[in-house]
A and B are shown apart, each in its own frame.
Chain A
C-alpha cells in the first residue's frame, strides 16, 4: 500500500515546510523511506546540547580520554541488549572507527589481494568501493560459491531484509574451512531486536558497529571496530597513539551514559506495529524498517542506486522501507490515521 505511505510522506513534507509548494513537497518525499540513518530526534538533540559544553569540546579535541573510555565500555554496553545476544566478542580488541565505514576500508586494504565477496543485497558502499577501485569482487551465488582466496563481507542482520542471516553458521563454517577472512557489519545491531550471533568462528577478522543508525549523530562518525589480537593496521595504529576522533567518542559516551542498546526497540515497538499495519509492511527485526510489497515501487532501491552511481537492477533487492520519519511525525501520523483512515491510534 505504497499510496498511503506516499500520502503520509507528502503530509510530513508539507508539515516540515509549510511554505513549500506542490513541487517542492513532491521533490522532498522522493527521498523519504530511503536510507537508514536517523534524521532528527529532538529528545536526543536536547540531551546532547545539555550534556556537552563548549569547554568539553575544547578539552576533548586535545585528549584521547574519551576514546579510551568508549573503547573500554562499548562491548559491555552492546551486550546489555534485552532481546539480542552476542557470543564471543571478548575474543576481539576494540578500536574507535569513523563510523563502521572506516572498519570496512581497513578490511578492504588489509585483504586487497583477495577477491571480495558479498551476497546480493549487501550494503551498496562495498559494491561502490570495489567497483570504483577496480577490486576483484563478485556476489556469492550458487554458481560462484565462496572459495579460498576470497574475503567475505556480511551484514548481520542482513542489510537488504533486516533479518537474521540464513545459514549463518554454515557460511561461517565454510569460511573457517577455507580460511576466508570475514568482516561482520553489525551496524544495525542497536536498532534491532531478537538477534543472536556467535563470533567465535576463527574466520571472523573484523566486527563493526555504529551508533548513527539509532541516534542522530551520523556525521559525528561514531563507530567501533573489533579485530583479532595482533592486528596492527593503520586504524589500530591510530588507536595505539590515541590519534582518533575524541570528540566523536565524547558524543558516543554521552549516548552510552543515557541509552541502552535496545532503546530504539523498546521505545518504538508498539508504534512500529501500528506503522506496519497501516502501511501494510512486513515487519523486520528492526523497528526502523518494514518490507514493502511490489506496490512500493517508488521507494525501491532505484534512487539509492542512482546516488551511489551503481548500475544494478532494483528488482534484485527487496523494497526496504525506512520508517524513521514516521516516528518523527508521530502526532501527525495519528491525525492522518484518524482523518484519512478513520483509525484511532
Chain B
C-alpha cells in the first residue's frame, strides 16, 4: 500500500508537531510533521486502521497565549489522504480525533491537542471509495460492475489499477 498524507497550516511553536503514523498496529512513521509524508507498507489484512498520533506537545511551552488569545500554537491540519494513488477526498471526514483528555472530536482534521486521529478503510482503496460513496449517497448502483470492468481492463492492458 502506498500512502501519501498531505498536511497544511503546519505551525511551529517551540518546535514542530511530532506525529506517529500507525497502520494496523505497526508504526510506519515517527517524526516531526512535514507537508508531504509518503509511506509504503504491505499490510496483511485488507482492513486498514490508520491512526496518526500527535504527541509530545506541552501546552505550557508549545502554545503562546496573549490576553487570553492564542497567538502561537504548535499544530497542523491533515489536508489529503491518498491511498494507492486514490484521494479519499470527502471520505477523509469519516474519521475522528481522539484527544488524550478523552474527548472525541468527530470530523476533525486539526491536530491541536495531543491525541490520535483515526480512520478505517479497506483495500483496494478504489473499491472502498466507490462502495462507501454509494452507501452514503445511494446514487451509484453500477459501481461494482464498473469497478470490476475497470480491473479487467487494467489486467487486459497490463496497467496498474
- A15-58 residues with Cβ-Cβ distance < 8 A to B are 15, 18, 21-22, 25-26
Q: Decide if A126 is an interface residue (CB 8 Å cutoff).
A: no
State in angstroms the CA–CA spacing of A7 and B154 once bound together.
11
| Residue A3 lies at the interface, judged by CB distance under 8 Å to chain B | yes
B159 sits at the interface (CB 8 A):
yes
Q: Select from chain B the residue with minimum beta-carbon distance to A298.
A: B142
Report whether B157 and A10 are in contact in the complex, using a CB–CB cutoff of 8 Å.
no
Across the interface, do B153 and A10 meet the contact criterion of CB distance under 8 Å?
Answer: yes
> Is B152 an interface residue when CB atoms closer than 8 A count as contact?
yes
Binds A, one of B4-12, B65-73, B113-121, B143-151: B143-151
Most chain A CB within 10 A, of B146, B149, B157, is at B149
We find that the number of chain B residues with CB closer than 8 angstroms to chain A is: 17
From known contacts A6-B146, A6-B149, infer whether A336 and B159 are also in contact, taking CB-CB under 8 Å. Answer: no
How far, in whole Å, are A190 and B47 apart by their CA atoms in the complex?
57
Is B156 on the interface with A (CB-CB < 8 A)? Answer: yes
User: B152: which A residues are within 8 A, CB to CB?
Assistant: 7, 10-11, 340
* List of B residues within 8 angstroms of A10 by Cβ: 146, 149-150, 152-153
Closest Cβ of chain B: how far from A1's Cβ, in Å? 12
Neighbouring A residues of B147 by C-beta, 8 Å: 22
Closest chain A CB from B87 CB (angstroms)? 10
For B159, the closest partner residue in chain A by CB is A18
Kindly list chain B residues whose C-beta atoms are within 8 Å of the C-beta of A14.
Answer: 150, 153-154, 157, 159
Per the bound structure, the CA–CA distance linking A11 and B149 in Å amounts to 8
Bound complex: CA A257 to CA B148 (Å): 46
With an 8 A cutoff between CB atoms, is A170 at the interface? no
Residue of A at shortest CB range from B126? A22
Question: Is A134 positioned at the interface, with any CB of B under 8 Å from its CB?
Answer: no
A25–B146 Cα distance when bound, in Å, is 10
A residues in contact with B150, CB < 8 Å: 10, 14, 22, 25-26
Q: Is the CB of B157 within 8 A of A26?
A: no
B156 pairs with A6, CB closer than 8 A: no
Q: Is A335 an interface residue (CB 8 A)?
A: yes
29 contacting pairs across A/B (C-beta < 8 A)? A3-B149, A6-B145, A6-B146, A6-B149, A7-B148, A7-B152, A7-B153, A10-B146, A10-B149, A10-B150, A10-B153, A11-B149, A11-B152, A11-B156, A13-B153, A14-B153, A15-B157, A21-B85, A22-B126, A22-B146, A22-B150, A22-B161, A25-B150, A25-B153, A332-B156, A335-B156, A336-B156, A340-B152, A340-B156
**Shortest beta-carbon contacts, A-B, top 3:** A11-B153, A7-B149, A10-B149
Binding site for A on B (CB under 8 A): 85-86, 126, 142, 145-150, 152-154, 156-157, 159, 161
Residue numbers of A with Cβ under 8 A of B are 3, 6-7, 10-11, 13-15, 18, 21-22, 25-26, 298, 332, 335-336, 339-340
